[in-house]
Amino acid sequence: MKTKRDVYIVSDSAGDTAFNVAKAALSEFDDLEVNYQRYPFINNSDKVAAVLNKVNENKDNAILFFTIVSPKDAQYVVDFCNTNGICAYDIMSPILSVIEKNTKLSPSHKIGAVHQLDSGYFDMISAVEFALLNDDGQHPAGFKEADVVLLGVSRTSKTPLSLFLANSNIKVANLPLVPKAQIPEELWDVDPKRIVGLTTDLNVLKKIRRQRMIAYGLNPDTVYSDESELKEELDYSEKLYDKLGCLVINTADRSIEETASIIMEKLNLGHFSAKK
């Protein structure tokens, strides 16, 4: 039986930083079942106190991650948690202290500074919009504009991977591969160095597709999850990748983050994520 914990994400801004750090750390614990509870825009003392009282009611089963830049409110959280025995981690303060010590500069303590509406923010929004417009081969003309074109049979993580990369300002188009379906002519005009073929293991694909059908309340034993059909799809995609001469990544047992990291490294896209 898995250990269960309620993980509280408390932030004076949107809370994405705290959530991503917590999620990355907790993913290392295979036998831990997590229930996330997010409390964004907790940006004054009254709101901080109210959330902490709620967490305190469940303190034996709670882990608190917080990003609060106000020194007064952050210290209040630390003192409250220490007094009441709440397991808590302050994400921002240790990092700010290291930078302050090294640079001899003082942080601004400006709420939501990481989400300033600078050019990098708008680049990211543009990349997300591009990914949505060019999802599932809806707009083949977009292949030429894309930084990356993802190919793969159904359930190889094309869409979530496209959106994850978009958050690093990378424009991604993706195309589902179906045997006997016509490949858009635009694909052949794309530099193979910008194409990534996604594949997976037969058993993994079968399990994912069956689970998807069950989640929809449908019979899992259909053509969609038939082993011979899946093998045909995977063989078809591999032959296409060979013909294109593109990078191929097996997504079985790989997280979205890991696959994205491989793509960024192999296609030399690291500079995109550094945009400001």
**What residues have CB less than 8 Å from 87, skipping those under 6 apart?**
59, 62, 63, 64, 81
Residue 160 CA to residue 141 CA, distance in Å, equals 21
Token couple for 129? 């919009």
**pLDDT of the chain, 276 residues: tens digit per residue:** 789 999 999 998 878 888 888 988 998 898 999 999 999 889 899 999 999 999 999 999 999 999 998 889 999 999 999 999 999 999 988 888 888 888 998 887 776 655 554 566 678 888 989 999 999 999 999 999 999 999 999 999 999 999 999 988 999 999 999 998 999 999 999 999 999 999 999 999 999 999 988 988 889 999 899 999 999 999 999 999 999 999 999 999 898 999 999 999 999 886 555 443
Contact 124, 167 (CB under 8 A): yes
Domain boundaries, the chain: 3-115, 119-273
Does the predicted model carry a pTM greater than 0.85? Answer: no
Angle between helices 158-166 and 256-266 (to 10 degrees): 60
Q: What is the CATH number of domain 119-273?
A: 3.40.50
Total Cβ atoms within 10 A of residue 22: 23
- Are 3-115 and 119-273 in the same CATH fold? yes
Residue with tokens 């379906």: 181
Return the CATH fold of 3-115.
Answer: Rossmann fold (3.40.50)
